[in-house]
Structure 1
């Protein structure tokens, strides 16, 4: 409630008062917060069906992405780590992110990395359940979620976000338009101590207003040959024979990060069941070809 009052005062131009209220809230949180510990208590009531709580262990160095994208993620982490300094100077750290790109290219993994690097729990919002079960009262459920965003610091992942964020102009369902409008209002006022992450495979159908509300839009793509080799190497570890990862470009082209991980796991299991201690190139290529056939048809 105090944060909502602060937000209203800020909109009225009373920035000093708003800043004092936020400082008081932060100070009260510091008194009760244990160092490096974040509560993982499961949501109760309706939220229990809408939010999945986890504590990811995926590290920043586990992400295999283009350098520019990695730098953007590092910058978000840096701003959150120094959020108090930024807020005290009147600047808001990046906390509203849109991740867009093909399936299996690292969007959900990025949310996990943000949670781990900031020692925060990750709350995955199940939009499918939100939209199908509570179509007539979704706005009120969204309010409950954003109330938690304001009171329990964490990384809130809205996966498959196109289910909620489709363009209002092309949506004939009045309730769906009202839901998106509510989301935009809640997002605008979301506490910057938490991160709200929306992930989608279909950027083109999203409402244009979403892009104006986001602090950062991160675009993901399928890995190139070098990145593909890094993904496979990271999954196989010591099981990869020295020659296994040489010139795999023609076999990895068009495959996502998730496809590459699955292929590496398949090759590893075949090799281990044969009693071998490493995965050779032929076995890995066969697994990649099979995965390509399954994924790309």
Structure 2
């Protein structure tokens, strides 16, 4: 109660709460998300706005836009975004993790916030593979919290295959996030590196972008953060070189190179 009163006081004074949206180094657009979903994102957002409740599971590789979409949903619904991570809830004391889960849902409902739980697989892992009793009780508490929660709950995970089946059934929408499609890579490069000048997109740049099949919006954000911190402007070729460097360090790319080397040997 005291924490809620302090947050309300901060908002009244015009201060940003800890759940405020992060500054975005890149221009945001739903068109720059490559998702697999039965329903189009604008339709899902409109339904959440009309109903005021729903549970969503965002799964996919890091940097594909999962957290950014949760922030976008909160803005569209004109609600605060409350972000919690596994590390915020885990306690070494027996039973305290479950208490903090329950408190998380109560606080989000009281604040009428969009609740985002990052790394949700930590608490929604398949109970058939649990080795300790507390692992089962944590999953049970999370499932009960999802059942009781009357607001909008978003979970993000990179490990969809490990999610408990009962948890999967409780998600209204399950949305897979994938790396950018070729045309999305080009469009985002035009916006972020060329200042919107599509005529400056040369065939050489197109060819190099075509090779970056694991490129994500987060990679563009990483380069833009470098630009902002260093207070410099990168030429298109330099911007692309930085994108290629971000692409090379991805696990999927490193593993593919290793397999290719073994195959050629």
| Superposition TM-score, scaled by structure 2 size | 0.76
Q: CA deviation at 1:144?
A: 1.1
Do the aligned residues in 1 keep the contact of 2:35 with 2:176 (CA within 8 Å)?
no
Larger radius of gyration: 1
- Specify whether residues 288 and 211 from structure 1 end up closer, same or farther in structure 2 by C-alpha distance, changes over 3 A only: same
- Specify whether residues 264 and 232 from structure 1 end up closer, same or farther in structure 2 by C-alpha distance, changes over 3 A only: farther
Distance in 2, Cα, partners of 1:134 & 1:153: 29
Q: Is residue 170 of structure 2 the alignment partner of residue 210 of structure 1? A: no
User: 1:122 matched to which residue of 2?
Assistant: 81
Give the count of matched residue pairs. Answer: 236
Structure 2 spans left out of the alignment, 5+ residues: 10-16, 255-265
Distance in 2, Cα, partners of 1:218 & 1:227: 18
Distance in 1, Cα, partners of 2:6 & 2:114: 12
**56, 62, 70: which is aligned to 1:97?**
56
- Specify whether residues 103 and 190 from structure 1 end up closer, same or farther in structure 2 by C-alpha distance, changes over 3 A only: same
Q: CA deviation at 1:189?
A: 1.6
Structure 1 spans left out of the alignment, 5+ residues: 1-38, 44-50, 84-92
Give secondary structure in 2 for the equivalent of 1:247.
Answer: helix
Q: Is residue 39 of structure 2 the alignment partner of residue 79 of structure 1? A: no
The within-5 A match list for 1:217-228 is: 217-228=174-185
- Specify whether residues 264 and 149 from structure 1 end up closer, same or farther in structure 2 by C-alpha distance, changes over 3 A only: closer
Do the aligned residues in 1 keep the contact of 2:33 with 2:180 (CA within 8 Å)?
yes
Distance in 2, Cα, partners of 1:67 & 1:165: 22
**238, 247, 254: which is aligned to 2:214?**
254
Distance in 2, Cα, partners of 1:144 & 1:288: 41
User: 2:238 matched to which residue of 1?
Assistant: 283
- Specify whether residues 186 and 248 from structure 1 end up closer, same or farther in structure 2 by C-alpha distance, changes over 3 A only: same
| Superposition TM-score, scaled by structure 1 size | 0.68
Do the aligned residues in 2 keep the contact of 1:225 with 1:248 (CA within 8 Å)?
no
Q: CA deviation at 1:94?
A: 5.2
Over 6 Å off, 4+ runs: 57-60
- Deviation per CA, 1:56-95, whole angstroms, max 9, x where unpaired? 6778735512476595321232123322xxxxxxxxx651
Q: CA deviation at 1:287?
A: 1.9
Distance in 1, Cα, partners of 2:127 & 2:107: 26
- Specify whether residues 217 and 265 from structure 1 end up closer, same or farther in structure 2 by C-alpha distance, changes over 3 A only: same
Q: CA deviation at 1:283?
A: 2.2
Do the aligned residues in 1 keep the contact of 2:58 with 2:156 (CA within 8 Å)?
yes
User: 1:243 matched to which residue of 2?
Assistant: 201
CA RMSD in angstroms comes to 3.3
Q: Relative CO higher for 1 or 2, CA cutoff 8 Å, sep ≥ 6?
A: 2
Distance in 2, Cα, partners of 1:256 & 1:154: 28
Distance in 2, Cα, partners of 1:153 & 1:96: 14
Distance in 1, Cα, partners of 2:94 & 2:140: 14
Q: Is residue 19 of structure 2 the alignment partner of residue 53 of structure 1? A: yes
- Deviation per CA, 1:149-208, whole angstroms, max 9, x where unpaired? 3322111000011111111110111111101101111111211xx210000000001111
The within-5 A match list for 1:122-271 is: 122-133=81-92, 136-191=95-150, 194-236=151-193, 238=195, 242-243=200-201, 246-263=206-223
